[in-house]
Each structure stands twice: as structure tokens, then as C-alpha cells.
Structure 1
Amino acid sequence: MSIQEKIKGIEDEMARTQVNKATNRHLGVLRARIARLKEQDRERIERGRGKVGEGYTVRKDGDATIVLLGFPSVGKSTLLNHLTNSKSKVAAYDFTTLTVIPGIMNYRGAKIQILDIPGIIKGASEGKGLGKRILSVTRSADLLIVLVDVFNPVVREVLLNEIRNIGIRPDEESPRINIEKRGSGGIVITDMVGMTEMDKEGMMQILREYRYHNSRVVVREDVGYDKFVDVLLKNTIYIPTLTVLNKIDMVDESYIDELKKTLGYDFLPISADTDVNLEELKEKLFEKLDLIRIYMRPKGENPDFEEPLIIRNGSSIEDIADKIHRNLKKDLRFTRIWGKSVKFGGQKVSLNHVPMDEDILTFY
């Protein structure tokens, strides 16, 4: 029996099972079994395919990477060109972009890489239209722009489902569950929250399904079986998104107001073609990426306010040193900082100190 036949058999069993509290564990185990089979199928395809074709592997560049996700002819290439001065081909017909086109957006000192990927179609995650190869690029993103047409905004959920099917969890955070494989001792589950969505027996069935016969599990968040499986798969990626509604130059303001009332999600309305709200889009992208600027001040010199060092908010002095040179912290005696993260200017800080936006920093 093939993997697809096994999946179909489990799906049929799930369809026959009534959904209620009593069947929650059974359905959770069946979903876990499907997830494992799909992962095995993905690995089999990857092994058979070998290297990814030209145009679908792009080296990450700049301070962060954003991927444009949308259906064909939604305006991704136009948006890339207007944000980055790139030269992605633009035309009013489907599948204009046939490879991944990179561009760099310079904003507030940051160099942000934006990737225009070929348009997604429904079923892309199952291989339609080279979909798996295209969607694989999204896994390297720090942020996804979900671009939808003003006349077809309901496709957003289709796009999100396609990336969910390849192990991306949009706008979610990794569940606070720790799983440690051991050499012996069986399965030990420590519930620190009072679980209501799962029970230990169901978790143990799933752990055995994934061959975690000897393991220690610590649960620090009350989540369901699907998220528990996400932790087990280990290839699950959590990426924030920003939904952008394009081509608003073709409708009036009352149409946009009505969409804000009826759609079940927030969006930023823009016109890539006429540059409407593109500055606001740049600001929102910077905020979503959670980047901050650090001004380096060489010993005995003035700070460099022209080219700030761009880092993720929450990065430590050690992270900054590693970004400049991997061996820098070995020779670092101490660091002085001027700015909002310290009590007084020139304060000495340790490697685990976390600077704030526009702090000035000197290494000694």
C-alpha cells in the first residue's frame, strides 16, 4: 500500500468518526499519523529529486528576508519593483514570474531582501504548478507578505493553508513543550499547566507512533494534539505575516471600508502600481521584522550615524559581536553603551546586556 493510500484510509476513518470530547484523543492520534506519513512522503520526494532547479534556491542577503506570497497576477512583481527598484518582469497575465526574483529594499538603514516567487495556485503544496519547489522558498523567510487582489480577498486563507501544508505556521509561536529522547526509562510526561486539550495517554500513543519510546516531555502550555505533533516533527517553522490588499486604485473608499467590516482579518490597503500607501507599508515591514538600529562608535572617534548596525530586537551584546566577527568576543574586554538601555551614558555592560533602538556602542 502506498503512502497516499494509507493517508486516504486514515482520512476516511476520520470522516466516519463523530467529533466530540470522547473522540478527541483518537482523532488527534489519527492526525498525528497522517502528519508522519506526509513527512515521510516529503522526504522521499526530496531524496528522489536531488538538487532544486535553477531559480528556486536564493542565498539570503541583507539584514532580513521577506517573501511575496500571492496568486498569479496579483501584482507581486510590480510591488517588488516599486519597493526595491528591481527589474522583475511585469505583465497583465498569469505566471509572468517563472523564477525567484530578489531585490533589496533600503529603509531606515536596513537592507531588507524581498523575494518575488512565482504565483501560487490551489494545490501548490501537493505539487501542482511546481508548487512544492516554489513554496520551499518561503521557509527561509523572516516575514511573509500575503498579497491579495482587492477583487478577490477571500483567497488569503487558501494561501495560508498552502504554506501550512509544508510545515509553516503563520503568525503562531512555537508551543512551550520540551521533548527529550532518552536511552531508557520509558515515557515520562510532566504537566505543568493542567492540560485540557490533551491527555497523557493520547500523548503517549503519538510518541510511540513517532518512535519516542523513551522520552521526557515537559508541557508548559495548554495546546492540542496538532501543535504537539508540530514539536515532534521538528521541521515546523513559525513565520509572521502581513496581509496586503493590492489594486485599491481601482475601487472607491467605500468599497475598502466595507471589506474592513466583512473580512475576518486585518490588512493594509495599497496600490503597487500608483505607490499608494507604500511608505506606510515599508514602515510596517520594518516594525514586523522587529529590527533596531545600533550606532557603532570606534574608540576615540564619533559614532557612525550614517550606517547603523541592524539587529533583531532582543539581541544581546554577544549576538552583536558574533554578527561583526565570530571571534570578536574572545578578545572583548568590555563594552560601553550610551542610550535608552542604560542608566547613564558610557555605562559598562556585559555580553548578555540587551541594547535598545539607536543605542551607541563601543567595544573595548
Structure 2
Amino acid sequence: MSTLQRITEIEEEIAKTQKNKATEYHIGRLKARMSQLKQELLTQTAKKQGGSGIGFDVQKTGHARVGLVGFPSVGKSSILVKLTAARSAVAEYEFTTLTAIPGTIFYKDTKIQLVDLPGIIEGAKDNRGKGRQVIATARTSDLLLIVLDATKSLDMKRKIEHELEGFGMRLNKRIPQIKLVKRERGGISLQANTELKFLNEALVTSILAEYKIFNADINVQQADATVDELIDVIEGNRVYMPALYVVNKIDSITIEELDLLNELPNWVPISCKQGWNMDELLEKIWLKLGMIRIYTRPRGGAPDLQEPVILRKRRGPTTVECFCESIHKDLILKMKSAIVWGRSTKHLGQRVGKQHVLSDEDVVTIMTL
């Protein structure tokens, strides 16, 4: 039996197994086996293609990269042409784009690379239609725009998510607050700062056994941590990425249907053909990337409002320390204090420390020792 057949068999068994307390250990172990088989499938494909670097060769430029992903003929190339100066073939038939085509968005003093990827098809995670190349390049993005066709079933959203999930991508999901430390002896120790809803020591031990891990400390910091999140931490190769669902061709649907789309989180309805809502798309890209502009001001001089330092909110707040590190790694060691003008301060020219949280368009002077 091939690896793909074994994965399908396990998926079917999970689907037909009733979910209750009595079956949670069985389902947990099945999920662990399936995850290992999927990783094995990725390795097999990489070897056939001559290595693990199977994405399209697109040099990353600008302050952030945004990937355009979707099934064929949904309007990805049209979005690229509308938002950048890049040229990409646009046609009414499928598979117009056969390789990755980059362009640059100039917005709020930042340069954002937008990459139009070939349309993926069902089975992309199993390498149908250059699927692995497309998804491997998508994994290098800082944000994904998942493009859907408003005139077709929005069930396509679930299908694309399934393909991306199968390649280790987690869209709009938090990084699990679970720490795993392997040890040489002592068995499995599960620690938590709160009562766990879905995990317990016996279940965790059984899942770890599937990975031949018999001695480890597991520390869980979230009450609702799931089996799937535990498996993700064990595998250790997941990518947690923000995503926007861009619904194109809204000029072809009713007002009632459009109202429903407007109520959904992380959705942006647009019409490339009519040029509708493109400004909102740009603003949501900016917000989702979490970028802020910080302008520098030399001591006793005027602020430089032409070339801001671009910072991105990643796993925590953007502080003065982050600002210093983005300029030079040794600057924070020389810093005595900072003077900040902008929305993050209580008054103009406020003297702050390295943990002060900055806001977009703040002006900063670093006072050194």
C-alpha cells in the first residue's frame, strides 16, 4: 500500500469513528500516524525532485512578501496587475500563469512584494499540478491572499485550506502555547497552569509513543490546547501565517450575497474588472502584515520624514528595543534613553525606556551613553 493510500485509509477511519471519551486515545494516535505519513510523503516528493528546495526561485524583496493563492481562473493575475506595475498574463481560461510572477506594491512608504502563484488544484499537497512548488513558495510569504470567485461555491475556501494544511501551513491560527523538552529518562511529565479541556497525561503519553518519545516534559499554557496542536509542536515544522480571503467578481452577485460576505472576518470582497474595493484591500493587507513606520530624528536636528524604519509586529509589541535592533544590534547596548513624539506618548517629546511600545508614524531620537 502506498503512503497516500495509507493516509486516505486513516482519514476514512477517523471520519467514521464516533467522537467521545472512549475513542479519544484511538483518534489521537490515528492523527499522529497520519501526520507522520504526510511528512513521509513530503520527503518522498522532495527526493524525487532532487532536494527539499522545491519552490519557485523568486528572490524576496521589499519589507514583506504577500502570496496570491487560489484555484485557476479566479483573478489572481488581475489583482497583481491592478496593485503593482508587474505584467502578468490575464485571460478567461485556466492556467494562464505557469510560474511565479512578482510585483511591488508601494503603500505608506513601504515596499510590499506581491507574488502571483500558478493556480493550484485539488491534490496539490500530493504534488498534482506543480502543487508542491506553489505551496512551498507560498510558505515563504508573510501573508497569503487566498483568492476566491464570488460566482462559484465558497466551498472552494475549505478545499484550499485543506491543501495548505496538508503542507504544514496554519492560517490565522495562534502558535500553540505548548513546550516539549525531551529527556533521557523519567517518563512523560505533563504540567499545566490550568485545567485542560482536551488533553490529559494518558492521552499525551499515547501520542508521544507514536513518535517513539518516552521521556519528556510537556508544559501546556492554554486550557483549550488540542491533540492537533500537540502534534504540530511535536512535528515542529509548521508555519503560522495570517491570511485574507479575497472574493473577486462581486460585480456578478446580488447585494444580499455581498452583505453576507461583508460580515465575515478576514474577508475582502472586490471586483478587479470594475476596480471596486481595491483601496480597502490595500489597507487590510497593510493591517494584516502589522507594519508600522518609525521616523528617526537626530539629536538636536529635524526628523527625517522621507525614509522611515519599517517594523513588523510579530509575536509581541513593537518596542524601542525592537527599533534599535533593526538599526544595529549594538545600538541597544549604547542606549541611555529615547525621546519619542507621536501617538504612543502622553506628551510630545516624552523620554522613555527600551520597553516603551511604539505606534505607527512615531518619531524617535535615541540618546546614547
Normalising by the residue count of structure 2, what TM-score does the alignment of the two structures yield? 0.90
Partner of 1:206: 207
Instruction: Please give the alpha-carbon distance, in whole angstroms, between the structure 1 residues aligned to 2:4 and 2:136.
Output: 21
RMSD between aligned alpha carbons? 2.4
**Cα offset, 1:97, TM superposition:** 0.8
* Structure 2 counterparts to residues 34-113 of structure 1, below 5 A: 34-51=34-51, 56-113=56-113
**Cα offset, 1:341, TM superposition:** 2.5
**Cα offset, 1:80, TM superposition:** 0.7
Q: Out of 332, 339, 344, which is 1:341 matched to?
A: 344
**Cα offset, 1:196, TM superposition:** 2.2
Instruction: Please give the alpha-carbon distance, in whole angstroms, between the structure 1 residues aligned to 2:161 and 2:13.
Output: 26
> Match of 1:341, SS?
coil
* Structure 2 counterparts to residues 156-195 of structure 1, below 5 A: 156-195=157-196
**Cα offset, 1:307, TM superposition:** 2.7
Whether the 8 Å contact between 1:101 and 1:115 is mirrored in structure 2 is yes
Partner of 1:31: 31
User: What residue identity is the alignment partner of 1:349?
Assistant: V
> Match of 1:305, SS?
strand
> Match of 1:306, SS?
strand
Task: Give % identity.
Answer: 39
Whether the 8 Å contact between 2:82 and 2:272 is mirrored in structure 1 is yes
> Match of 1:208, SS?
helix
**Cα offset, 1:271, TM superposition:** 1.0
Instruction: Please give the alpha-carbon distance, in whole angstroms, between the structure 1 residues aligned to 2:78 and 2:17.
Output: 47
Whether the 8 Å contact between 1:316 and 1:353 is mirrored in structure 2 is yes
Whether the 8 Å contact between 1:25 and 1:198 is mirrored in structure 2 is no
CA shift digits 1:41-72 (9 cap, x unpaired): 21233244235789713232222211111111
Whether the 8 Å contact between 1:178 and 1:218 is mirrored in structure 2 is yes
Q: Which runs of 5 or more residues in structure 2 are unaligned?
A: none
Whether the 8 Å contact between 2:320 and 2:357 is mirrored in structure 1 is yes
Instruction: Please give the alpha-carbon distance, in whole angstroms, between the structure 2 residues aligned to 1:282 and 1:151.
Output: 23
Over 3 Å counting, the alpha-carbon distance change for 1:345 and 1:266 in structure 2 is closer
Partner of 1:223: 225
Partner of 1:320: 323
User: What residue identity is the alignment partner of 2:294?
Assistant: I
Over 3 Å counting, the alpha-carbon distance change for 1:123 and 1:3 in structure 2 is closer
Instruction: Please give the alpha-carbon distance, in whole angstroms, between the structure 1 residues aligned to 2:261 and 2:351.
Output: 52
**Cα offset, 1:14, TM superposition:** 3.7
> Match of 1:50, SS?
coil
Instruction: Please give the alpha-carbon distance, in whole angstroms, between the structure 2 residues aligned to 1:97 and 1:337.
Output: 47
Over 3 Å counting, the alpha-carbon distance change for 1:276 and 1:338 in structure 2 is same
Over 3 Å counting, the alpha-carbon distance change for 1:259 and 1:322 in structure 2 is closer
**Cα offset, 1:186, TM superposition:** 2.1
Partner of 1:138: 138
> Match of 2:304, SS?
coil
User: What residue identity is the alignment partner of 1:317?
Assistant: V
CA shift digits 1:141-189 (9 cap, x unpaired): 2211111111113311111111111111111101111111223322111
User: What residue identity is the alignment partner of 1:250?
Assistant: S
Matched, 1:352 2:340: no
Normalising by the residue count of structure 1, what TM-score does the alignment of the two structures yield? 0.91
**Cα offset, 1:295, TM superposition:** 1.2
Over 3 Å counting, the alpha-carbon distance change for 1:351 and 1:266 in structure 2 is closer
Number of aligned residue pairs: give it.
Answer: 362
Whether the 8 Å contact between 1:142 and 1:240 is mirrored in structure 2 is yes
CA shift digits 1:203-229 (9 cap, x unpaired): 011112223222111111122211110
Over 3 Å counting, the alpha-carbon distance change for 1:219 and 1:184 in structure 2 is same
Whether the 8 Å contact between 2:7 and 2:34 is mirrored in structure 1 is yes
* Deviating more after overlay: 100-109 vs 319-328: 319-328
Whether the 8 Å contact between 2:243 and 2:266 is mirrored in structure 1 is no
User: What residue identity is the alignment partner of 1:339?
Assistant: G
Instruction: Please give the alpha-carbon distance, in whole angstroms, between the structure 2 residues aligned to 1:40 and 1:52.
Output: 12
Instruction: Please give the alpha-carbon distance, in whole angstroms, between the structure 2 residues aligned to 1:124 and 1:76.
Output: 17
**Cα offset, 1:326, TM superposition:** 3.6
Over 3 Å counting, the alpha-carbon distance change for 1:8 and 1:275 in structure 2 is closer
